[in-house]
Chains A and B, each alone.
Chain A
Amino acid sequence: MTITKQNYLWCLNPARMAAQGRRLPSPGEQFSIFTDPFGEAVLNYADRQGDVLTESSLVREDHFIVIDNFGSTGGVSAQWIQDPATNLTINWVPNGFVQIAIDNVWYYQNPEDIKSWGISGDAAPFPSNLETNFGYLLEPNIYVRPFETWDVRYVITNQYPNLALYPYAPGCFAQVYVQYWEFTGSDALICEQLMKVGIEVNVDNVEWFRRQLLLSRGLDTTDWEWYLAVSQKYWEGERAKAKRPDEPKLAHKDKRTRSG
């Protein structure tokens, strides 16, 4: 029974991959930042240099995932620079896009209804800074339910320099960052119940629902009447909040308004 905010940082370090004899992903080859053999997980497995996860991200039966935000390295043209002294490639932009996959469904599509590359690093930059636009904010969040598999897929659409003549200098040349909430145990079950009654799954609502369960101790919470009462209570709460515009907004609600 935990609610944790997780984050995952992936990095493409071509120099280390070359040292390990691994090939770089081809431009236009969309791959998983979790399980495909490119790059490395930085934040969580610093000691496993050059490795990514070994298992696909299947949400276990007592887990529930809410993907909150992501970003990747920005830039369009390659802006390739080699060091004249060493011939090493010291600057190169990946021109990458992030796409989310849940089971066999791609989240981002073109206006003509076919799968797109996803969100560019210019739209959702990582790291972000004050000079870049606010760009893309994921709203509403993406829910990944038990037994679903989710994936963050990245594609590089700039060609590489001639690697034999201009190998890469050490360092990250592309990064992808994802943050999400992980609900486990009874909290994951509460997420499922919230979804059934059409209430947004976020930390505040899960905690609120838990309080309702505690308050109704001894009553049969599988009754329709109980769910109606809970729905009614949530609706009244939302109405009361709407009447108090000066009330501070909940941390996880309305990201767009918050950033504006």
Chain B
Amino acid sequence: MLRRQAYEWRGIVPDGASPPVTLNLHPILTLNPVIPAYNAAALAPVDIFVGGYGSNLDIPANVTASQFIVLDEISVWPPEASAQIWIEETLYYVNPDGTATRGVTGNTTPFTPTGGNLRQTIIANPKAPLGIMPSYRLTDTPIYIKQGQTWGCYFYITQLQQTQICGKGTGTSTWDYSVSASPRPEEGDLWVPRVYLEFVLFDGADSIIAYKLMQQDIPVTVENVTAYKQMVIRHKLMADIHEKKENEKKLSDIPERFI
């Protein structure tokens, strides 16, 4: 089975009394949710699956024996934050000198807040994010995560006190990630930290085909896996037809006789 999956991490908790992490499904938020203080020092990484900040999972992401993952989209928010993919002991993004970087930033590949239902004008000077377009795409060279591998994604806030130029409303907006605070009503989700990952999950027989393609240096895409399946079916038909013809020939060689 081929399924396009998405995982969205958010650095927001139900209220001021909540711990800075929630487990498994996204939590039920109160009317005044809180962006918890970023406890890790500035520039230190936080794992989005098990890092103890924001919405987490019980265990790190692990690819089972019957799965194959092709990760082809990563987005980050706010603009002055970044994300780095890791697989086993390898960090994906590196500098030209081979040292690890902090990955891609929200300015490079933004996961821009939609603004939700903010359609009323009763609030003075509502602010919305600048309409930044992604300048980086992973689609052309996706990341393969094979059976048995553990993977994850580090999130970095590269600056605890940040300023953002707004696309709507006047001027700029500021936020201090070193303290816990509720999003301001006029700004909506402008400062909610987020990482968005999108991947194709190949399951069962399709994961075996994906692995086979990878071994043969053929890009693992939905189209190629489908084409490979078509080829297998076609060749099976050829083999069956050949067998059928051979059997017919053998039968025709047997002399007819009365019983």
Q: Which residues of chain A have a CB within 8 Å of any CB of chain B?
A: 27-28, 73-81, 83-84, 90-95, 97, 107-114, 116-117, 119-123, 125, 130-133, 135-140, 157-159, 161, 173, 196-200, 224-225, 227-228, 231-232, 234-235, 238, 254, 256-257, 260
Contacts and interface: CB of A to CB of B under 8 A. Distances in A.
Q: Which of A27, A116, A119, A197 counts the most B-chain CB atoms under 10 A from its CB?
A: A116
A110 B26 CA distance: 11
A92 B188 CA distance: 11
B88 interface: no
Contacts of B230: 197-199, 231, 234-235
B213 interface: no
B246 to A, nearest CB: 14
Contact of B113 (A76, A111, A119, A235): A76
A22 B2 CA distance: 39
Q: Give the 6 A-B CB pairs with smallest separation, nearest first.
A: A75-B116, A74-B114, A111-B61, A93-B116, A198-B229, A198-B230
A12 to B, nearest CB: 11
Nearest to A108: B5
A133 B194 CA distance: 13
Given A157-B29, A224-B240, A79 B49 contact: no
Nearest to B50: A112
A157 B26 CA distance: 8
14 contacts: A74-B114, A76-B116, A78-B31, A81-B122, A91-B122, A93-B116, A109-B5, A117-B26, A119-B6, A120-B26, A132-B114, A159-B28, A198-B229, A235-B230
A200 to B, nearest CB: 6
B231 interface: yes
Interface in B119-145: 119-120, 122-123, 128-129, 131, 134, 137, 139
Given A111-B62, A257-B139, 17 more contacts: A79-B118, A80-B185, A90-B122, A93-B118, A112-B61, A119-B6, A131-B167, A133-B75, A136-B4, A157-B26, A196-B233, A197-B234, A198-B232, A224-B237, A224-B240, A235-B227, A235-B231
A93 B29 CA distance: 11
A110 B24 contact: yes
B87 interface: no
Nearest to A116: B25
Contact of A95 (B3, B29, B223): B29
Interface of B: 2-8, 10, 12, 24-31, 33, 49, 57-62, 64, 75, 110-120, 122-123, 128-129, 131, 134, 137, 139, 151, 167, 182-183, 185, 188-189, 192, 194, 196, 198, 201, 222-223, 226-227, 229-234, 237-238, 240-241, 244
Contacts of A80: 31, 185
A77 B201 CA distance: 30
B186 to A, nearest CB: 9
B6 A27 contact: no
B131 A77 contact: no
Contacts of A79: 116-118, 185, 188
Contacts of B3: 107-108
Nearest to B58: A112
A208 to B, nearest CB: 14
A113 B185 CA distance: 35
A200 B112 CA distance: 33
A122 B117 contact: no
Nearest to A162: B31
B233 A198 contact: yes
B179 to A, nearest CB: 17
A116 B5 CA distance: 10
Nearest to A253: B223
Contacts of A254: 223
B114 A125 contact: yes
Q: Which of B2, B119, B227 counts the most A-chain CB atoms under 10 A from its CB?
A: B227
B245 to A, nearest CB: 10
A161 B111 contact: no
Contact of A112 (B29, B59, B129, B233): B59
A120 B8 contact: yes
A199 B233 CA distance: 10
Contact of A228 (B134, B139, B238): B238
Contacts of A228: 234, 237-238, 241
A132 B133 CA distance: 9
B120 A90 contact: yes
Given A117-B26, A228-B238, A231-B230, A91 B120 contact: yes
B2 A132 contact: no
A140 B244 contact: no
A111 B3 CA distance: 13
A91 B117 contact: yes
Given A73-B116, A91-B118, A111-B61, A197 B233 contact: yes
